[in-house]
């Protein structure tokens, strides 16, 4: 496993990390969760990602139970949570959502309890909240860090201008600025990481913990010949994923993925490994968060780091020569 600094911070994160978004579905299985976490940890992964909204908090409960059962030294791994959407679903009250000081504090302590840890290494504002003054959110995050409840705070899917505004507020009032951003980044979704944030990497030392490097499974190649019955796109509640495979845009995406699949085959690897390794070739990616529901998937994905030496300039040129114009939807 390789490790990179999280932006300009001194924290080193594994280049591939493990997220629990897809892990919780229906009945929690602590033994399966532990097996997946262990497969990642044994491969050198040191960062595990979660959020209050995943399974309405139950994903964090599951991760916390698995981490407690694993018994690893707390100084050997990093955990994160995200605040914005709450953990009460449609029954959420106004104070149980958003980025107000109250909800930022409450959600942090609830995540700490669910994850069965003493503090959060990383704490993200899951989306912007236009109803809360930005200074209030920056102050709340700063206070949590000063209390020792959080070590680093960041944003997720925030526009570059808003990240810069948060940074300037922090500098103006001697507060702590955001360290990292968690955007979507994959072969089909590139603009924000490669263009919109381009100036922030050097200007403020922004780190990135990119999510969906496999585009929720789209770029794995499993949909090249149709939608398998056990695939994510077949599951209730994920109709949006199936829609990305339909119509002219869906066909364009599949055509591009088939071309990339041929390159993967020529390199003697799998499409998931190629897609992950492609993300890691971007030096501005601190870590790519992969999701998996089986230990063998975790093992395969972690092996993507071994592919990096094969992604020469010529290979990268072949991959990037496949046009994604009209495919990406930001």
**Residues with catalytic roles:** 54
Question: Angle of helix 247-266 relative to helix 313-321, nearest 10 degrees?
Answer: 160
Q: What does the alpha-carbon distance between residue 212 and residue 290 come to, in Å, rounded to a whole number?
A: 7
* Whole-angstrom distance, CA of residue 80 vs CA of residue 47: 8
C-alpha closest to that of 182 among 199, 207, 163: 207
Angstrom distance (rounded) from CA 277 to CA 310: 10
139 by DSSP, 3-state: which? Answer: helix
Residue 123 φ then ψ, to 5°? -140, 120
Distance, in Å, from the CA atom of 60 to the CA atom of 53, rounded to the nearest integer, reads: 9
Q: Encoding tokens for residue 28? A: 């929690």
Q: Which two tokens stand for residue 224?
A: 């090249």
Is the Cβ–Cβ distance between 228 and 222 less than 8 Å? yes
DSSP string, 176-231: PPP-EE--B-BTTB-HIIIIITHHHHHHT--EEEEE-TTGGGGGGTTTTTS--TTS
* Token pair of 317 as six digits: 């040129």
């Amino acid at each position: 496993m390789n490790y990179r600094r999280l932006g300009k911070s001194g924290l080193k994160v594994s280049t591939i990390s493990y997220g629990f978004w897809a892990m919780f579905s229906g009945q929690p299985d602590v033994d399966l969760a532990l097996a997946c976490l262990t497969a990642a940890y044994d491969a050198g992964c040191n960062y595990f990602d979660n959020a209050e909204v995943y399974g309405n908090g139950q994903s964090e409960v599951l991760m916390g139970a698995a981490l407690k059962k694993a018994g690893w030294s707390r100084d050997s791994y990093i955990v994160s949570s995200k605040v914005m959407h709450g953990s009460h679903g449609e029954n959420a009250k106004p104070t149980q959502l958003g980025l107000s000081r109250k909800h930022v504090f409450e959600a942090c302590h609830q995540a700490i309890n669910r994850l069965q840890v003493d503090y959060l290494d990383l704490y993200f504002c899951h989306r912007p909240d236009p109803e809360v003054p930005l200074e209030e959110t920056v102050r709340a995050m700063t206070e949590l860090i000063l209390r020792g409840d959080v070590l680093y705070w960041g944003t997720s899917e925030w526009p570059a201008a808003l990240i810069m505004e948060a940074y300037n507020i922090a500098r103006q009032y001697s507060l702590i600025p955001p360290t990292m951003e968690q955007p979507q980044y994959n072969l089909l979704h590139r603009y924000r990481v490669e263009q919109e944030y381009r100036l922030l990497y050097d200007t403020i030392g922004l780190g990135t913990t990119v999510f969906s490097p496999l585009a929720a499974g789209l770029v794995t190649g499993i949909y090249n010949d149709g939608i398998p019955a056990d695939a994510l796109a077949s599951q209730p509640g994920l109709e949006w994923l199936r829609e990305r495979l339909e119509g002219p845009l869906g066909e364009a995406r599949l055509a591009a993925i088939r071309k990339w699949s041929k390159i993967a085959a020529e390199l003697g690897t799998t499409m998931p490994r190629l897609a992950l390794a492609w993300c890691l070739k971007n030096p501005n990616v601190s870590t790519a968060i992969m999701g998996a529901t089986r230990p063998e998937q975790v093992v395969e994905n972690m092996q993507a780091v071994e592919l990096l030496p094969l992604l020469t300039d010529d290979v990268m040129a072949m991959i990037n020569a496949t046009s994604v114009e009209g495919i990406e939807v930001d």
